[in-house]
Amino acid sequence: MSDTTIARVLRLLALLQARRFWLGRELAARVGVSERTLRRDIDRLRELGYRVTAERGRGGGYSLQAGTDLPPLLLDDDELVVLVAGLRTLAAGGGDHADDTALSALAKLEQLLPGRLRRRVSALQSATVARGSRPASTPAPELLAQLALACRDAERVRFGYTGVSGTRAAHLVEPHCLVSVEQDWYLVAWEVRGGAWEAFRVNRVDSYVATGERFTGHELDPERAGEIAAAAAVRFARRHVGLLRVHAPLGVLRERVGAWAREATAETDTTTLWPISADHLPGLVFGLAWLPEEYDFEVLESSELRAFVRSLGTRLVRATTGSAR
């Protein structure tokens, strides 16, 4: 088909989608063709999978019907703005499979959305009040869509990130997937500098930059990706946080304790800073018991944890020396 014919057929499709039924002569007039040319254009749409029915006779005309498969749809500007705003709201909440699907659709639309419509979507969304139990600190939908595209296209990205301890750090990552956990989105990605899988809570990401650099993806089982994201969610949910200095190199410590040292960082060649978290102080101390015996450690934070360890240590000494009261 020529460009003129393609434009005419698209115009015809838009008209058929806008009204349930068109008289043949009226539809031909709106498209600007003869009724004979209109019939040929209707046949072109049918060849593309659109089910267009025709009614013969003086009052005959055309209507677009539902078929066994959904063919491509044409949306005008107003319809597209409302659709993208709705998908942004749904995807930003996280929490179930419907939101995963919304994010996938949103990423495809955001990639092609003109700037003039993007501004209209943002204006509509900012003026819309959602009801329900969505978390107050939801990530920007635009950021979610950009991360989804980076996962799909295997593109390295750079951003700032504020972790559980409140410390902000810069990261260069190779995005793998987005995982929804407890109504929050987490980006599971390969941390280039750290050489390990990490999960980043999206609403704590800032200064996002798509580098344009492509990478060959690392293998990661979907179930394992979910576990990494769930472990990150647990750390954010816990109320008590401590910081240890472990007298062991970072790589050695990670080999010994695995995912539990995911947020540990190298302080020197021989010492590692390891943030730990739990719902209760005894839970933090229980975690200390799993440290390999050959590695000494110090409790740097918090003062509450240090006091609890001292008190518990005194009790344990009394329990082993027969001096318990």
Q: Are the C-beta atoms of 8 and 33 separated by less than 8 Å?
A: yes
- Amino acid identity of residue 220, one-letter, is L
Q: Which long-range contacts (CB under 8 A, 24 or more apart) does 46-50 make?
A: 50/13, 50/16
Q: Which of 65, 93, 117 is the last residue of a domain?
A: 65
The CATH number given to whatever domain includes residue 9 is 1.10.10.10
Q: Which of 23, 50, 65 is the last residue of a domain?
A: 65
**Is 295 inside a domain boundary?**
yes
Residue 114 lies in a domain: no
- 229 domain residue, yes or no: no
How many domains would you assign to the chain?
Answer: 2
Position 286 in a domain: yes
Determine the pLDDT at residue 325: 57
> Looking at residue 290, which CATH number applies to its domain?
3.30.70
281 inside domain: yes
The last residue of one of the domains, among 65, 89, 104, is 65
303 in a structural domain: yes
The token pair that represents 60 in the structure block:
């005959």
In-domain check, residue 100: no
What's the domain range around 27?
3-65
Domain-located, residue 224 = no
- Stretches where the chain sits below pLDDT 70 are 1, 3, 67-74, 82, 85, 88-100, 103, 108, 110-112, 118-140, 182-183, 237-240, 259, 279, 323-325
The 3-class SS string of the chain reads: CCHHHHHHHHHHHHHHHHCCCEEHHHHHHHHCCCHHHHHHHHHHHHHCCCEEEEECCCCCEEEEECCCCCCCCCCCHHHHHHHHHHHHHHHHHCCCHHHHHHHHHHHHHHHHCCHHHHHHHHHHHHCCCCCCCCCCCCCCHHHHHHHHHHHHHCEEEEEEEECCCCCEEEEEEEEEEEEEECCEEEEEEEECCCCEEEEEEHHHEEEEEEEEEECCCCCCCHHHHHHHHHHHHHHHHCCEEEEEEECCCHHHHHHHHHHHHCCCEECCCCCEEEEEEECCHHHHHHHHCCCCCCCCEEEEECHHHHHHHHHHHHHHHHHHHCCCC
User: What is the model's pTM?
Assistant: 0.48
Which amino acid belongs to residue 113?
A: L
